[in-house]
Structure 1
Amino acid sequence: MASTRDSNDALKFPILIGDIGGTNARFAIIVDAYAEPKMFPVVQTADFENIDEAIQESVLDKTSLQPKSAVLAVAGPIDGDEIDLTNCPWIVRPKLMIEKLGIAEIIVLNDFEAQALAISSLKEDARTQIGGGVIREGASRAVLGPGTGLGVAGLVRARNMWIPVAGEGGHIDMGPRTERDLQIWPHLQTIEERISGEQILCGRGLVNLYHAICAVKSVEPSLETPQAITEAAINRMDAEAGEAVDLFATYLGRIAGDIALVFMARGGVFIGGGIFQRLIPVVKKDHVRAAFEDKAPHSALMREIPLYVVTEPLAALAGLATFARTPRFFGLETTGRRWVG
């Protein structure tokens, strides 16, 4: 079984860090507490039968460094010695990895915990601000990101430590707010007659929104993937795609405002994930900010909270590296998520 660990225990270098999503896996090795991570090429999860094979072939076979510890972030619930990834057939088996790969200690985190760790120390050139507001040092922060799903996490400061708070905030209810929303909502695909944030604010959610807009306008949809809708919007090739992307950004601002209130995130709300980064050229930032602040009776409070887009594509790895170097600065619970050889 996984064992407990004192948060003051230093991890032994070299440390392998990995961000494993449904489609891509990113790995790096940290040689010591001061060195920049040694990066390895991004790999497609579909190209490897399992994570052990991916690490062996794409990392260990490419370097003479032998990691003594590993900190891995995975897109899926961590429960027991066999960890299923939500949108990937890989099963992470830390005990087997220790045996096969010669790594003495493995810690496995949720992927949005890694995003939360990243925003604890995100540099100014790795983020773009939308609208006003100023970070209050030591105040809570929050991160959300549309991707395969809608990830949400908080970051709370207590006892001189940053404590990441993972959850399933992407599944909160989302209702219509405007006249246009009232026209669109009846045409959205639901889950058991329910529309959550994730039903709109992720890759398949963008397709769901686009199809609903087409239905309202009695137009036959011609685009079937998030990528096609995004490209059509950026190149102004399809009016419905353009509206879908505009509303997607507005709704994301709306949910970001909700999350800001949940965590009282005076330290800032950060939007991560590749989808929104690609939409930045055509996003109406004033619409996003207005939706973020539209939280009566707390609109004045919302105007003080900064909203950022994370522009660092490897933010999760950066968060894992920060934790791996100085675990004592983070109140990260590893009970049931740490394995020792």
Structure 2
Amino acid sequence: MPTDTESGLTFPILIGDIGGTNARFALLLDAFAEPKIFPIIPTTSYASIEEALQTSILDKTSVQPRSAIIAVAGPVQGDDIPLTNAGWIIRPKDMLTALSLEDVIIINDFEAQALAIASIGDEGREQIGPGAILESASCAVLGPGTGLGVAGLVHAQHTWFPVPGEGGHIDVGPRTERDYQIWPFLEPIEGRISAEQLLCGRGIVNIYRAVCFSKAQDPHLADPAAVTTHALAGSDAAAIEAVSLFSTYLGRVAGDMAMIFMARGGVFLAGGISQKILPALKKPEFRQAFEDKAPHSALLKTIPTFVVTHPTAALSGLAAYSRTPSRFGVATEGRRWRT
């Protein structure tokens, strides 16, 4: 099998995207093949990544991967890598032994989303509002899901550099009179409201419950799917307001990230929630909040925003890196393990 001299990864390459709820995997046989994508794996169904991969993938294919690059929802530090919102602890040394791999690279899941931004075309995204992409300019990607992922993508010296971080945990505060009414009813973490406490699955429920309590109503919807379904159907007033506020708060944070990264290449909303509530994001609230950044509102009006509609964007980004690593400045120091 050929080895790519830039990345050192040997084909076949196992690529994976592990979030707080689900894990997605694919096999890349060579630099010219499309990824062979496997069914989604709920992380709670298996005790470890090794068990999940062996049972759900390796036992069902005759292809034995020799390398792996895995994107995980959490910071990558040391030999034990816990997921921020799930029970698995990724131990690359165990993966090498248990799965007979030669080489494992672990990166942040939103690095993979950032890589995808540079590799998917118009068919994998839908624009919201005005603005045009400035070619080779920086980008930002946000993904409300089990948590809130944030990353940047910077272009320099003909190379795309993904910038991982934990931007989903920034502080957020009330601005409008309605915000001040519901803020006392939001559930904090250790005394503060972070962006992730509002802009993820449990965040939708957090906002919905606060809307209900602020009106002295009993919240009767218990999960994010119920809230978004009722909101999009127009069948529950509190759910409608909750999703409207969610869109507003997402617009505010997306605008903040646009300014931090000077993201004139676009701001991209990844993840299943963004796709599901796309009709709500197309309403005025999201873009109004995104652009409401005085004294820089005029700048924000020129920056385009998109919902990523590609069904497996992170895997697409990992595959693009695996095929042509020279296009991307992915740092592997301290994040690579070999036999």
TM-score normalized with structure 2 length: 0.95
Task: State the match for 1:115 in structure 2.
Answer: 113
Structure 2 unaligned blocks of 5 or more: none
Task: State the match for 1:60 in structure 2.
Answer: 58
Q: Do structure 1's residue 138 and structure 2's residue 167 form an aligned pair?
A: no
Listed as ranges, the matches of 1:177-216 within 5 Å are: 177-216=175-214
In the TM superposition, what is the alpha-carbon distance from 1:284 to its structure 2 partner?
4.6
Q: Deviations over 1:239-295 (max 9, x none)?
A: 001100111011101110000000000000000111121112344532211111111
Q: Deviations over 1:185-208 (max 9, x none)?
A: 222222233222112111111111
Task: State the match for 1:176 in structure 2.
Answer: 174
Cα separation, partners in 2 of 1:194 and 1:326, compared to 1, 3 Å:
same
In the TM superposition, what is the alpha-carbon distance from 1:77 to its structure 2 partner?
2.1
* Residues 11 and 325, structure 1, Cα contact 8 Å, conserved in 2: no
Q: Tell me the distance in 2 between the aligned counterparts of 1:17 and 1:135.
A: 29
Q: Do structure 1's residue 154 and structure 2's residue 152 form an aligned pair?
A: yes
Q: Tell me the distance in 2 between the aligned counterparts of 1:283 and 1:333.
A: 34
Q: Do structure 1's residue 103 and structure 2's residue 101 form an aligned pair?
A: yes
* Residues 14 and 29, structure 1, Cα contact 8 Å, conserved in 2: yes
Listed as ranges, the matches of 1:67-78 within 5 Å are: 67-78=65-76
In the TM superposition, what is the alpha-carbon distance from 1:10 to its structure 2 partner?
4.1
The count of corresponding residues between Structure 1 and Structure 2 is 336
* Residues 10 and 67, structure 2, Cα contact 8 Å, conserved in 1: yes
Q: Tell me the distance in 2 between the aligned counterparts of 1:17 and 1:121.
A: 16
SS in 2 for 1:76: coil
Cα separation, partners in 2 of 1:193 and 1:136, compared to 1, 3 Å:
same
Listed as ranges, the matches of 1:247-266 within 5 Å are: 247-266=245-264
Cα separation, partners in 2 of 1:75 and 1:7, compared to 1, 3 Å:
farther
1:48 equivalent among 46, 49, 53: 46
Structure 1 unaligned blocks of 5 or more: 1-5
2:327 equivalent among 307, 326, 329: 329
Higher relative contact order (CA 8 A, sep 6+): 1
Q: Tell me the distance in 2 between the aligned counterparts of 1:23 and 1:294.
A: 33
SS in 2 for 1:227: helix
Counterpart of 1:166 in structure 2: which amino acid?
P
Counterpart of 1:90 in structure 2: which amino acid?
W
Structure 1 stretch displaced more, 87-96 or 236-245: 87-96
Q: Deviations over 1:102-139 (max 9, x none)?
A: 11110001111111111112210111101111111111
Q: Do structure 1's residue 166 and structure 2's residue 164 form an aligned pair?
A: yes
1:39 equivalent among 37, 40, 47: 37
What do you get for the CA RMSD once the two structures are aligned? 1.5
Listed as ranges, the matches of 1:275-290 within 5 Å are: 275-290=273-288
Counterpart of 1:43 in structure 2: which amino acid?
I
SS in 1 for 2:277: helix
Q: Tell me the distance in 1 between the aligned counterparts of 2:137 and 2:85.
A: 33
Task: Report sequence identity in percent.
Answer: 62
* Residues 256 and 292, structure 1, Cα contact 8 Å, conserved in 2: yes
Structure 1 stretch displaced more, 6-15 or 51-60: 6-15
In the TM superposition, what is the alpha-carbon distance from 1:165 to its structure 2 partner?
0.7
Q: Tell me the distance in 1 between the aligned counterparts of 2:292 and 2:129.
A: 13
Counterpart of 1:274 in structure 2: which amino acid?
G
Counterpart of 2:273 in structure 1: which amino acid?
I
Counterpart of 1:58 in structure 2: which amino acid?
S
SS in 2 for 1:16: strand
2:231 equivalent among 233, 249, 263: 233
Structure 1 stretch displaced more, 190-199 or 269-278: 190-199
SS in 1 for 2:112: helix
Task: State the match for 1:3 in structure 2.
Answer: none
SS in 2 for 1:175: coil
